[in-house]
Amino acid sequence: MMLDSKQVLAGNAPSNFYDIPAFGNVSLMHITDTHAQLMPIYFREPSVNIGVGGAVGKVPHLVGDKLLKHFNIAPNSIDAHAFTYLNFEQAAKTYGKVGGFAHLKTLVDKVRASRPGSLLMDSGDTWQGSGTALWTKGQDMVDACIELGVNVMAPHWEFTQGAERVMEIVNGDFKKHGIDFIAQNVVTNDFGDQVFKPYVMKSVNGVQVAIIGQAFPYTPIANPRYMVPDWSFGIRDDGMQKWVDEARAKGAQIVVVLSHNGMDVDIKMASRVTGVDVIFGGHTHDGVPQPVPVKNAKGVTLVTNAGSNGKFLGVMDFDVKGGKIKGWKYRLVPVFSNLLAADKKMEALIKRVRKPYEAKLNEKLAITEGVLYRRGNFNGSWDQLIMDAMMKVKGADAAFSPGFRWGTSLLPGDTITMEHLLDQTATTYSFSTLTEMTGQTIKEVMEDVCDNLFNADPYYQQGGDMVRVGGITYALNPYEKMGKRISDLRLNGKPLAANKKYKVAGWAPVAEGATGTPIWDVVAEYLRSVKTVTPRKLNNPRLIGVKQNDPGIADYIASV
């Protein structure tokens, strides 16, 4: 393709970077977890993504050099920057920002032009993650997805707009524009009826393709249950098998699952449910260059995960002959906004939705001297900044910040605007809290969350990262059982007393009836007062049991 004039900024990007030769006769494009990022952004991949149980050292639990080596990606290349945290600051300056729906749209159109009839699927976490998505109740993203040409979607954070709003969009804009919102694992609380279409059948160049939807199974646990009071979720393997079998019986030649399970859960599901060709996954935000083949009783299922924040477009090409898949090719294509001209119509749409909010979004809060990022199992500099702000403003001994995997990155010297702060904090329940907790309760909370991340059985994993902990140092053994992973909790070097009460600041409580100043106001107050944010010292646990050479962890510095 023709590169635009910014090509010169793109370092050693090959000039044919977006020439993706077509293959076969059925193509499926996939985005996931864009978290409402309409504009190009920076996004640092994690340096800590530890696998447990059968997943130790396996995809997607590879970071840095180990990931490059596994997928045969050249070090210091543009792909190395896209898929790893390595040399983040310098490489981000060289290659520029990633994502942005106007640039994504250009790429989608280019792929569509070379692959007539191809479909675009979205694994969800699309209507949440920015100030404008919060203020427009997801409408900005609905409009952008219609313009992008999304055909099918499966949900997670969408539900935090509330059940009523979800139904309004599904039966309104989505229906009007022919976008299918699918989820086989969401049923009513009364008689267990399907809430959404479990799957859709699409004809792609004469080939019948069934797409089965899987919403995030633990939505009412990880997010406020009161937002979806009449619906029940869960993994529901048996339901999945039933719909696969039904779709096959109705003539599906390709069966895919559009999933928001998270990658480890998808890998386990692929080993149990038969007859699925590919799972297009999201939720765990793993940018996985090539699918993982998973054997089951009747064949092999490919499992993909397409990263987050609009940074990647997955392109799966199938060659189907005589009703059978004869071959496939998959690419997870990074979206570099300097290498893809902005689509004019999408650019205008984004400008229009942002216009009423520009002044608010652009408020300059402070300058950061260090990289600010979020991803990683235990802490990120953005999380640390949020906790430092909470402890200072609220006068707390300690702070908890949720292990959300969304949130964009900033480079040293960047101005932190209100928009950037909202990219880390914009949810429909971002109340800040100050709670007195005993040492024992603090440990119990940490153990509970830790089990949601490090339970050896993927079906017990909820896909976030460990709750970020400010003020309190601790040790953590990911391979222990619940109740035994966390130890050596200390405040200012002194062990926490089980019965003593500590003041703990937090935000985003899932309980009904919670109130409090929005967290972005708390952090903004702090940022305005400090003006300059010095590089954060991460409060990272001392790890026990993790091997020195575990490929899921690199450049890790424990704070004790």
Partner 1 sequence: MAEPMKIRATLAGDVADIKVLMNHVMETGTRKDAKTGQLVPAHHINSIVATLGGKTVLQAEIGGAVSKNPFLGFKVKGAKAGDKVTVSWVDNKGDKNSAEATVG
Partner 2 sequence: AVAAGLLKPTAAFASDRAAFDAKGVDAVMKAIKATGAADSKDIVVKAPDIAENGAVVPVEVTSNIAGTNSIAIIAEKNATPMVGEFELSNGATGYISTRIKLANTSNVRAVVKAGGKVFTAAKEVKVTIGGCGG
> Amino acid letter at 210?
A
Decide if residue 238 touches partner 1 (CB under 8 A). no
- Location of structure tokens 């050249």: 74
Cβ proximity to partner 2: between 49 and 151 the closer is 49
Q: Whole-number minimum distance, CB 232 to partner 1, in Å?
A: 11
Alpha-carbon distance values, 18 to 114, 260, 306, 329, 336 (Å): 12, 27, 17, 15, 10
Strand partners for 502? 437
Q: Whole-number minimum distance, CB 1 to partner 2, in Å?
A: 33
Number of residues this chain uses to bind Mn ion (CB under 5 A): 4
Decide if residue 191 touches partner 1 (CB under 8 A). yes
Cβ proximity to partner 1: between 191 and 324 the closer is 191
- Residue 202: which of partner 1, Mn ion, partner 2, none does it interact with, CB under 5 to 8 A by kind? none
Q: What is the arrangement of strands in the sheet containing 398-401, beginning at the earlier edge strand?
A: 432-438, 501-507, 398-401, 468-470
Q: What's the rounded Cα separation, in Å, for the pair 315 and 306?
A: 10
Q: 263 to 292, contacts with Mn ion by CB under 5 A?
A: 283
- Residue 436: which of Mn ion, partner 2, partner 1, none does it interact with, CB under 5 to 8 A by kind? none
Cβ proximity to Mn ion: between 338 and 461 the closer is 461
Residues 6+ apart with CB under 8 A from 354: 38, 132, 140, 361
Decide if residue 190 touches partner 1 (CB under 8 A). yes
- Location of structure tokens 């049923």: 187
User: Judged by CB under 5 A, which stretch of 124-132, 196-204, 449-457, 497-505 contacts Mn ion?
Assistant: 124-132
- Which residue in 402, 459, 395 sits closest to 430, CA to CA? 402
By CB under 5 A, name the one of 33, 383, 397, 550 that touches Mn ion: 33
- Residue 190: which of partner 2, Mn ion, partner 1, none does it interact with, CB under 5 to 8 A by kind? partner 1
Per DSSP, the residues of 228-281 read: STTEE----HHHHHHHHHHHHHTT-SEEEEEE-S-HHHHHHHHHHS-S-SEEEE
Q: Whole-number minimum distance, CB 22 to partner 2, in Å?
A: 32
- Location of structure tokens 């990219």: 423
Contact flags string 140-179 toward partner 1, x per CB under 8 A = ----------------------------------------
Cβ proximity to partner 2: between 114 and 441 the closer is 441
Alpha-carbon distance values, 21 to 27, 115, 209, 330, 502 (Å): 12, 10, 22, 11, 60
Under the rule (CB under 8 A), what is the footprint of partner 2?
33, 125, 156-157, 189, 216, 218, 220-223, 225, 232-235, 262, 283-285, 402-406, 445, 448-449, 451-452, 457, 459-460, 462-465, 467, 508-510
Q: Which H helix or E strand runs over 318?
A: strand 312-321
Chain centroid to CA 175: 26
> Which residues are at the interface with Mn ion (CB under 5 A)?
33, 125, 156, 283
> Which residues are at the interface with partner 1 (CB under 8 A)?
190-192
